[in-house]
Amino acid sequence: MPDIDTLMQTVGRAARDASRYMAAATTARKNAALTELARLVRDRRDAIREANAADLTAARAAGLKESFVDRLAVTDAVIETMALGCEQIALLPDPIGEIKDMHPQASGIVVGKMRVPLGVLGIIYEARPNVTIDAAALAIKSGNAAILRGGSEAANTNACLGELVALALESADLPAKAIQVAPTVDRAFVGAMIVATDYIDVIIPRGGKSLIARLQNDARVPMIHHLDGICHTYVDAECDLDMAVSVSDNAKTQRTSPCNAMETLLVHAAVADVFLPRIGAVFAAKNVEMRADERALTILTASGLTCVPATEEDWETEYNAPIISIAVVDSLDAAIEHINRHGSGHTDAIITTNRPASDRFLREVDSGSVMVNCSTRLADGFVYGLGAEIGISTGKLHARGPVGLEGLTSLKYVVLGHGEGRH
Amino acid sequence: MPDIDTLMQTVGRAARDASRYMAAATTARKNAALTELARLVRDRRDAIREANAADLTAARAAGLKESFVDRLAVTDAVIETMALGCEQIALLPDPIGEIKDMHPQASGIVVGKMRVPLGVLGIIYEARPNVTIDAAALAIKSGNAAILRGGSEAANTNACLGELVALALESADLPAKAIQVAPTVDRAFVGAMIVATDYIDVIIPRGGKSLIARLQNDARVPMIHHLDGICHTYVDAECDLDMAVSVSDNAKTQRTSPCNAMETLLVHAAVADVFLPRIGAVFAAKNVEMRADERALTILTASGLTCVPATEEDWETEYNAPIISIAVVDSLDAAIEHINRHGSGHTDAIITTNRPASDRFLREVDSGSVMVNCSTRLADGFVYGLGAEIGISTGKLHARGPVGLEGLTSLKYVVLGHGEGRH
Question: How many other CB atoms are there within 10 angstroms of residue A303's CB atom?
Answer: 14
Amino acid sitting at position B390: I
Work out the mean pLDDT of chain A and round it to a whole number. 96
Which residue in A378, A410, A420 is closest to B400 by CB distance?
A: A410
* Angle subtended at Cα B211 by Cα B400 and Cα A118, rounded to the nearest 5 degrees: 25
For residue B333, with 0-12 CB atoms within 10 Å meaning exposed, 13-18 middle and 19 or more buried, which class applies? Answer: exposed
| B105/A383 CB distance under 8 A | yes
Which chain A residues are closer than 8 Å to B95 by Cβ? none
Q: How many residues does chain A have?
A: 423
| A371/B415 CB distance under 8 A | yes
pLDDT at A278: 98
Which chain B residues are closer than 8 Å to A396 by Cβ? 118-119, 201-202, 410
Q: Chain A interface, mutation test: which of B233, B416, B420, B423, most A Cβ atoms within 10 Å?
A: B420
pLDDT in tens, B309-318: 999 999 999 9
Question: What's the average model confidence in pLDDT over A306-329?
Answer: 97
Q: Is A257 within 8 Å of A236 (Cβ atoms)?
A: no
List the one residue out of B54, B48, B123, B58 whose CA is nearest residue B79.
B48
Pairing of strands A99-104, A110-117: antiparallel
pLDDT at B208: 79
pLDDT at A221: 93
pLDDT at A367: 97
A138: closest CA of chain B, how far (Å): 17
Query: Maximum Cα–Cα distance for chain B, whole Å?
Result: 80
CATH number at A4-224+402-415: 3.40.605.10
Determine which helix (DSSP H) or strand (DSSP E) holds B410, and give its type and residue range.
Answer: strand B409-420
Question: What's the average model confidence in pLDDT over A277-281?
Answer: 98
> Which residue of chain B comes nearest to A23, CA vs CA?
B364
Rounded Cα distance, B252 and B123, in Å: 30
pLDDT in tens, B291-328: 999 999 999 999 999 999 999 999 999 999 999 999 99
Quote the distance between the C-alpha of residue B65 and its chain's center.
Answer: 25
| B419/A254 CB distance under 8 A | no
Any bridge partners for residue A179, and if so which? A146
| Residues 6+ away with beta carbon under 8 Å from B249 | A421, B279, B282, B283, B286
Alpha helices in A153-293 (DSSP H): 155-171, 188-193, 209-218, 241-253, 269-285
Pairing of strands A409-420, A110-117: antiparallel
pLDDT in tens, A31-73: 999 999 999 999 999 999 999 999 999 999 999 999 889 999 9
Work out the mean pLDDT of chain B and round it to a whole number. 96
* CA torsion, ordered B196, B202, B205, B210, to nearest 10 deg: 60
pLDDT in tens, B62-77: 999 998 899 999 999 9
| Residues 6+ away with beta carbon under 8 Å from B334 | none
ipTM of the complex: 0.95
Rounded Cα distance, B211 and B192, in Å: 15
| B109/A421 CB distance under 8 A | no
| Residues 6+ away with beta carbon under 8 Å from A375 | A233, A247, A250, A251, A254, A262, A349, B417, B420, B421, B422
pLDDT in tens, B126-166: 878 999 999 999 999 999 999 999 999 999 999 999 999 99
Task: Concatenate the DSSP letters of all residues of B372-395 into one string.
Answer: EEE-GGG-STTTTT-S--SEEE--
Q: Give residue A387's pLDDT band: very low, low, confident or very high (50, 70, 90).
A: confident
pLDDT at B136: 97
Q: Give residue A259's pLDDT band: very low, low, confident or very high (50, 70, 90).
A: very high
Task: Fill in the DSSP letter of residue A223.
Answer: B
Question: What's the average model confidence in pLDDT over B180-198?
Answer: 94
| B114/A363 CB distance under 8 A | yes
Which chain B residues are closer than 8 Å to A94 by Cβ? none
Query: Where does B183-297 show beta strands of DSSP type E?
Result: 202-206, 231-235, 262-268, 289-292
| B24/A363 CB distance under 8 A | yes
| B111/A385 CB distance under 8 A | yes
B51: closest CA of chain A, how far (Å): 34
pLDDT at A1: 67
Tell me the CA end-to-end span of chain A in Å, nearest whole number: 58
List the one residue out of A197, A341, A317, A316 whose CA is nearest residue B213.
A197
Phi-psi region of A372 (alpha: psi -120 to 50; beta: other; left: phi over 0): beta
Pairing of strands A145-149, B369-374: unpaired
Which chain A residues are closer than 8 Å to B115 by Cβ? none
Return phi, psi of residue B101, to 5°. 55, 40
Rounded Cα distance, A291 and A306, in Å: 9
Give percent above pLDDT 90 in chain B: 92
Q: Give residue B206's pLDDT band: very low, low, confident or very high (50, 70, 90).
A: confident
Tell me the CA end-to-end span of chain B in Å, nearest whole number: 58
pLDDT at B1: 67
Any bridge partners for residue B370, and if so which? A414, B348
Q: How many residues does chain B have?
A: 423
Q: Give residue A138's pLDDT band: very low, low, confident or very high (50, 70, 90).
A: very high
Rounded Cα distance, A309 and A307, in Å: 7
pLDDT at A325: 98
pLDDT at B45: 97
Q: Is A171 within 8 Å of A31 (Cβ atoms)?
A: no
Question: What's the average model confidence in pLDDT over B54-60?
Answer: 96
Which residue in B400, B413, B417 is closest to A401 by CB distance?
A: B413
Which residue in A222, A379, A421 is closest to B247 by CB distance?
A: A421
Rounded Cα distance, B76 and B66, in Å: 19
Question: How many other CB atoms are there within 10 angstroms of residue B49's CB atom?
Answer: 18
pLDDT in tens, A19-38: 999 999 999 999 999 999 99
A231-383 folds as Aldehyde Dehydrogenase; Chain A, domain 2 (3.40.309)
List the one residue out of A330, A315, A278, A321 whose CA is nearest residue A300.
A278
Question: What's the average model confidence in pLDDT over B361-388?
Answer: 96
Residue-range domain boundaries for chain B: 4-224+402-415, 231-383
List the one residue out of A307, A310, A287, A288 whose CA is nearest residue A299.
A307
Any bridge partners for residue A402, and if so which? A392
pLDDT at A124: 95
Rounded Cα distance, B291 and B325, in Å: 5
| A401/B410 CB distance under 8 A | no
* Angle subtended at Cα A147 by Cα A146 and Cα A149, rounded to the nearest 5 degrees: 135
Rounded Cα distance, A24 and A14, in Å: 16
